[in-house]
Amino acid sequence: AGLVHVVASDAHSYGGRRPELRRAAGLLTSMMGEDTARKLLQTNPAKIVQGELLESSAVSLAQREQTRATDS
């Protein structure tokens, strides 16, 4: 299916392995755009924690790559 709803880290503390997502955020922004990166890194995770439903507009990486290829 290749659908993505959330990008997250499994790190649990700042003392050992930090939950560092800046690099992932930069890659997502360059590949998918700022709105999609924000949705995957901030909006959707917050909705999950708050028990809210996610919008049905999951990102398909394969579909996005097709769009990027035709935009070039």
Q: What's CA 49's distance to the chain center, in Å?
A: 15
pTM of the model: 0.68
Say what percent of the chain tops pLDDT 90. Answer: 36
Instruction: Report residue 47's pLDDT band, with 50, 70 and 90 as the boundaries.
Output: very high
**Statement: residue 44 has pLDDT above 90:** yes
Amino acid, single-letter form, for residue 40: L
Ramachandran sector of residue 38 (left: φ over 0; alpha: ψ -120 to 50; beta: rest): alpha
